[in-house]
Amino acid sequence: MKDIDFAAPKTIAEAVALLGKHGERAKLLAGGTDIIVQLREHGRDADVLVDIKRIPELNELTCDARKGLVIGAAVPCYRIYENKEIVKLYPGLLDAASLIGGIQIQSRATLGGNLCNSSPAADSIPPMIVLECVCVIAGPSGTRELPVEKFCTGPGKNALSKGEFLVSLKFPPPKANSGAAYLRFIPRNEMDIAVAGAGVSVVLDATKTKCTAARIALAAVAPTPLLVAEAGAALVDGTLNDGLIAKAASAAQAAAKPITDMRGEADYRRHLVGILVKRALHIAIDRAKTK
């Protein structure tokens, strides 16, 4: 491994200045569970690693039933699933935070890093999409916000412009009678990349027999994590039953554009999408009913 400089800015302005100075030669370091591996394998090159963990805004973790959830981009997964309020209010997000890698990885890995690595198979992105997360991005022209479903633009590519970085992830407060879930398929118990993944969220009416809103997002079956609006729409208004759930699952399968690779064939992945969406919907609906 070649020598790489290390910088640890303490403010957003310092980080922006460092990115401005080094351009493409600077790489941000959150937990390092992707970037260190990529630098060692020469998949990426850098002159300077910019460690963002000393910037206060990037360590924020606040959760409130009325105000919602803010997760700083440097907050590791374990802080998320050890937070009692998040466990109670955002179980769908916990499904992903508690399955990324294993315990060692979760002690370092961040949802911000998972998003900025922008893998189509990233486990946290579908649940963030269905929970209507908004990215707070800082850069040379100040701060801007972007819905998370618009963040990834291709495998390993995202909407960050030169000199920009992710500050935090903001989630609206959970709606009444709502539930969410994320499921993925891997051929072993942990430490693997999703062959397919499905995140779902539902909002039920007062009788808890009908769905008034739903979002369904997929992992590992398209060049980017995929929000399938028509799959969510298939659930709205009709009485919730296996037929309606099957309709939503079919819409998700139809929107998937999987490839065949060493992890699975395209047809197999499409088949998995149907199963994962149905199972995740049952979990999300149960969560919404028992809230």
Helices (H), the chain: 12-22, 35-40, 77-81, 84-89, 91-97, 103-106, 111-117, 125-130, 229-233, 242-255, 266-289
Q: Identify the residue among 12, 166, 252, 288 touching ligand FAD (CB under 6 A).
A: 166
CB of 97 or CB of 228, closer to ligand FAD:
97
Candidate ranges 103-111, 147-155, 252-260, 276-284; the one touching ligand FAD (CB under 6 A)? 103-111
Candidate ranges 94-102, 139-147, 246-254, 271-279; the one touching ligand FAD (CB under 6 A)? 94-102
**108 phi, psi to nearest 5 deg:** -120, -45
Is residue 37 at the binding interface for ligand FAD, with CB under 6 A as the rule? yes
Rounded to whole angstroms, what are the CA distances from 182 to 92, 179, 207? 6, 11, 24
Q: Identify the residue among 28, 202, 235, 272 touching ligand FAD (CB under 6 A).
A: 28
CA pair distance 183, 205, nearest whole angstrom: 24
Is residue 35 at the binding interface for ligand FAD, with CB under 6 A as the rule? yes
Beta bridge partners of 70: 62, 170
Q: How far apart are the first and last CA of the chain?
A: 51
Is residue 165 at the binding interface for ligand FAD, with CB under 6 A as the rule? yes
Is residue 226 at the binding interface for ligand FAD, with CB under 6 A as the rule? no
Least Cβ distance, residue 44 to ligand FAD (angstroms): 7
How many residues bind ligand FAD (CB under 6 A)? The answer is 30
CA pair distance 169, 111, nearest whole angstrom: 9
Is residue 117 at the binding interface for ligand FAD, with CB under 6 A as the rule? yes
Least Cβ distance, residue 63 to ligand FAD (angstroms): 19
Beta bridge partners of 59: none
CB of 122 or CB of 256, closer to ligand FAD:
122
Candidate ranges 17-25, 30-38, 78-86, 268-276; the one touching ligand FAD (CB under 6 A)? 30-38
Q: Identify the residue among 71, 122, 128, 283 touching ligand FAD (CB under 6 A).
A: 122
**158 phi, psi to nearest 5 deg:** -150, 180
Contact 102, 58 (CB under 8 A): no
Is residue 108 at the binding interface for ligand FAD, with CB under 6 A as the rule? yes
Give the burial class of 19: count Cβ atoms within 10 A of its Cβ; 0-12 exposed, 13-18 middle, 19 or more buried: buried
Q: By CB under 6 A, name the binding residues for ligand FAD.
A: 27-35, 37, 52, 73, 99-101, 105, 108-110, 112-114, 116-117, 122-123, 160, 165-166, 191
